[in-house]
Chain A
Amino acid sequence: MWIGFSLLMPDCFSLSFLKDLHWCGVCMSVAPPHPHTNTDSFQEELVVRPLHSGDIYASFQFRTVWEADFSRGNKVSHYQLFPKSLGQVISKFSVRELHISFTQGYWRTMQWGQPFLPSPPGAELWVWFQDSVTDVDGTWKELTNVLSGIFCASLNFIDSTNTVQPSAAFKPLGVGNVTDHRFLRYATLPREIVCTENLTPWKKLLPCGSKAGLAVLLKSEKLFHSSFHSQAVHIRPICQDQRCKSTSLELRQTLNAVFDLHTSGQAKREWSLFKMFSRTLTEACPLASSSKIYIDITDNSQGEQFELSPASSLLSQAVVLGDRRTFSVYDLTDQATFGSTRSLNLLIRDMLRPLLHAERYVAGYGLQTGEIHTVMYNHHPYRSFPVLLLDSVPWYLRLYIHTLTVTSKGKENKPSYIHYQPSKDRLRPHLLEMLVQLPPNSATEVTVEFERALLKWTEYTPDPNHGFYVGSSVISSLVPSTVATNTSITQEQPLFSSFFPCKEELSYFVRVYTEPLLVNLPTPDFSMPYNVICLTCTVVAVGYGSLYNLLTRSFQIEEPSPGLAKRIANVIRRMRGVPPL
């Protein structure tokens, strides 16, 4: 496999122009530096990891840390690196944490390993509000509409029928001690499609936009021609330093993409930045304090499996997802990184098999009933660990919780915590959260029966026979790790290993999303509303008519009516006052 870094000579004019702009921006700030000026810093990184199957995984992270505190209702009007639209959203809606992701494709855990940041297919949004919010549902509705405008996505379809308040599966990822899950809202739109319209506003949120730094690689033609791509925005409060006296706001924009060997790689195990992104890197983003590229070379420790060019003398080791991996680091802020063209060659061997993996499918036949089966695999040879399963099923699949069975290795495995909130028709979905202990080296199957509802004809989508989507199940767990993880928070840690907070050394946090499901519902005939109304009203009228006749009329002897001539004669006779015939 070849990876070529085609790094051209920096374009002096553009670089200096940007530098001047940056300085001018600083000079034009109105007053001399205020002692409480909000300062922000920006880091960008790209991790490239060749995968076992010949595909290649690229993960971008752009992180802006801003020493602003919105929790006491401070008004901020001067935005520098932090995007103004998101800052206004956070202050207006009193958001503590916001996590939104748009994903196209399904992450194949068994072939590709664990992603750095998991996300379910479609759109996913979960938000922790500040405890000063009084009407959380109203704020949630407004927030989804505003985000829908910011990201050009149809998040306005998020309403009470697909929003839930998980009680255990989604704890805050930032600092803070609010754990009242009344302030948490979680919703997914598994049907949402991601396209250039969503990428463009996402790129606009970056300080350098797509003009400098790693973001120049994000061009939609090549990016959407991949097996999997997911862009996300994560906002959360973090500690400013080790003592954690005050918090700053961290914004992480992440983009994960997996390029397929055959579609993007032309079946040659030779990758370059130009081949993946049809662009090359010319400079780092001038506003970034750190801009790095990490290439995973763990399987090439002696240099015999692949060749990486241009070679880099900087090496870094990090423990991520329970595995100690070695990376070759390229620092783009160092001018010496750019020079003559280089090329890489990579070969891959076995990676660490992911310990936790899940699948989900629908069983049964016909359009009346069905069963949802969720299978969770624990590949650890001797340790068992608990997992928290979150299932949000739309209201039109009526779950029967008395049919819930959890079996491991053929025996019943009773969950230790079940939180079930049944659905209300047309108002809210089912919410099922369970804590299940997975025995070592086993597959645990969770089964629940459901019944399919017939909806009103206006509630079907224009393509009703496509089916209805059920969002992914979320399985969250602390998986035991063979390697000790670093629990201290430092600013020099690579971004990809510092996302999920690590409280213990011997386990790491993993979130696995299953596939979304597609179920068919019975449909009425959509061409028939008028006919049905007429026919049913006819039947009711038949009943009414017969009973009316019998109730208001009485039996009489039928006298034969005289012919027409006689009747006219009778009329004339009546007028004359003469008795009739």
Chain B
Amino acid sequence: MAAPLTLLLVVAVTVRALLSSSALQQLIAERVEVVSPISAWKRVIEGLALLDLGVSPYSGDVFHETPLIIYLFHFVVDYAEITFILADVIAAVALYISVKDYNKQVFRKQKFALEADRYPMDCLELIRSPKEMHYIPLKVAMFYLLNPFTVLSCVAKATCGLNNAVLALFILATIKGNMLLSAIFLCLATYQSIYPLTLCVPAMLYLMQRQYIPVNPRRFGFWWFVAQYLFMYVGSLFVLVCLSFFLLGSWDFLSSVYGFILSVPDLTPNIGLFWYFFAEMFEHFRLFFLCVFQINVFFYTIPLSIKLKDHPVFLIFMQLAVISIFKSYPTVGDLALYLAFLPMWSHLHRFLRNLFLVSCVLLACSALFPVLWHLWIYAGSANSNFYYAITLLFNVAQILLVSDYFYAFLRREHHLTYGLYLKRTDGSEATLVLK
């Protein structure tokens, strides 16, 4: 499997290098769908220039990156393209290895379940075979590297690529069972944008399962594990924040980075739901709706964790999707990460209901975004409503995609417990509904 992976990496690096050195790079780096006020490369350069002028980058409202990014790019600003391409490669390789490991565990669990006779007789066609699972890691890496969204994000040098790489490493560490590394990588991801905080729960669930600690709130072992993990996580976060303080000598970065992500003062258009909503909000209700929208990202954690406590990796996928749809400044780079997971659930294909619709809508919206932006900003013949409508449609398509996969997953689990071909009381073929 190493050879196809290497070939894939070579192709991906070539594509990115070609695009980075062409005239399209400048064009892509300005697109609002690809860069946002918290991930734009222009703003990183601006922050470094302000530092050179002797002014704190956080004294203005242009720079919203964390101090570690300043520290990193202070040294590698001349090799920026290589850094971002390397980040993409690391993310893809990490996903590859983690999916491979996860498949092994899935197969082993399935084998035990089969031997224990836990599956009804007629759902044997739902059982996964090693042959079908063989190419999934390569497909995951391919979905990540050759996704046009990822390529655009890397060519534009958006720092979202670095965040994706850290999240991929976090997933790798979690699946390998390394508690400390998992906590550290998750802390790095949270430090850059607050939302990966919700991935704490699936990480803990997975690690507990791997160490055979029963997930039961009444047992001491459960709480001891949670305390250990949280201690490592909060501890590394504390260390990082203090390090950032010592880098520039002030706490300004807290309000410039985290205050900015949470209070959304900048209404630059992007592919998310926040900008136009808060541009047209009545002043009286602004704080209320801001809290509602921010809580919306976090509060799916507990219900999803309770429902999916036996399937933490699917939970990670769901959480990543919820974050990238409902976060305050989403970009296509955030989408690329959870879209890379789709080959892992290819066995759910027969239960998906809206795949055609969703893929058509996503393709159409991706094509319409630049068109309607040009009509609004440059041609002046459309207004902001056109771009906003496409934003709405794009987000609805993503929500449909995610809920469709969730439905298919739950349905397969149901069939694995109760059988594939279900009959009604009078013996005729049954239809399953959610009640």
| CB within 8 Å for A558 and B430 given contacts A401-B46, A540-B293 | yes
* Alpha-carbon distance between A563 and B121 when the two chains are bound, in angstroms: 35
B413 to nearest A CB, angstroms? 9
B341 contacts chain A at the CB level, 8 A cutoff: no
Instruction: Give the distance in Å from the alpha carbon of A440 to the alpha carbon of B300 in the complex.
Output: 68
- When the two chains form their complex, are residues B281 and A456 in contact, meaning their CB atoms are under 8 A apart? yes
B52: nearest residue on chain A (CB-CB)?
A402
List residues of chain A with CB within 8 A of the CB of B61.
Answer: 395, 398, 422-425
Chain A contact residues, majority secondary structure: mixed
Nearest chain B CB to A538 CB, angstrom units: 8
Contact B53 A524 (CB under 8 A): no
Q: Taking the complex as formed, is B266 at the interface, i.e. its CB lies under 8 A from any CB of chain A? A: yes
CB nearest neighbor in B for A457: B280
Complex interface: chain B residues within 8 A of A542 (CB): 396, 399
Which of chain A's residues have a CB closer than 8 A to the CB of B266? 425, 453
Residues of chain A within 8 A (CB-CB) of B383 are: 523, 525
- Whether B385 is near chain A, meaning CB under 8 Å from some CB there, is yes
Which residues of chain B have C-beta atoms less than 8 A from A554's C-beta?
414, 434-435
B384→A525 contact, CB < 8 A: yes
Assess the B265–A550 pair: CB atoms within 8 A: no
Q: Which of B55, B265, B388, B403 contacts A422 (CB 8 A)?
A: B55
**Beta-carbon contact of B376 and A522 below 8 Å:** yes
Stretch in B99-107, B150-158, B269-277 with 4+ CB within 8 Å of A: B269-277
* Pick from B55, B280, B395: contact of A529, CB under 8 Å: B280
**Interface positions of A from 518 to 555, Cβ below 8 Å from B:** 522-525, 528-529, 532-533, 535-536, 539-540, 542-544, 546-547, 549-551, 553-555
Q: Are B395 and A368 in contact (CB under 8 A)?
A: no
Beta-carbon contact of A553 and B267 below 8 Å:
no
Cα distance A524–B433 in the bound complex, in angstroms:
43
| Chain B positions 408-433 with a Cβ under 8 Å from a chain A Cβ | 410-411, 414, 422, 424-425, 430-433
B317 → A minimal CB distance (Å): 14
Q: Which of B371-401 contact A (CB under 8 A)?
A: 376-378, 380, 383-385, 388, 392, 395-396, 399-400
In the complex, are the beta carbons of A453 and B268 less than 8 A apart?
yes
Complex contact A367–B377 (CB within 8 A): yes
Chain A residues with Cβ below 8 Å from B59 are: 421-422, 424
Contact A550 B434 (CB under 8 A): yes
Q: How many residues of B contact A (CB 8 A)?
A: 65
B303/A533 in contact, CB under 8 A: no
* Chain B nearest Cβ from A558, distance in angstroms: 5
Check if B282 is an interface residue, CB within 8 A of chain A: yes
Interface residue B226 (Cβ < 8 Å from any Cβ of A): no
Alpha-carbon gap, A543 to B399, bound state (A): 6
Return the CB mask of B17-50 against A: 1 if under 8 Å, else 0.
Answer: 0000000000000100000000000100110111
Would you give the 0/1 interface string for A393-429, flagging 1 where the beta carbon is closer than 8 Å to chain B? 0010010111000000000000000101111111000
Q: Does B335 contact A (CB under 8 A)?
A: no
CB distance from A123 to the nearest CB of B (A): 26
Interface pair B377/A522, CB less than 8 Å apart = yes
Task: List chain B residues, Cβ under 8 A from A522.
Answer: 269, 376-377, 384
Q: Contacts A454-B268, A533-B281 known; A549 to B434 CB distance under 8 Å?
A: yes
Complex CA gap A547/B315 in Å reads 13
The reply to whether the CB of B296 lies closer than 8 angstroms to some CB of chain A is yes
User: Which of B45, B378, B422, B431 makes the CB contact (< 8 A) with A366?
Assistant: B378
Task: Give every chain A residue within 8 A of B60 (Cβ-Cβ).
Answer: 421-424, 430
7 closest Cβ contacts across the A-B interface? Answer: A422-B60, A402-B49, A546-B403, A553-B434, A366-B378, A529-B280, A532-B280
9 extra interface residue pairs, beta carbon distance < 8 Å, beyond A524-B276, A559-B424: A365-B378, A402-B48, A525-B385, A529-B282, A532-B280, A542-B396, A546-B403, A554-B414, A558-B431
5 CB contacts below 8 A, A to B, read A402-B46, A455-B267, A523-B383, A555-B435, A559-B424
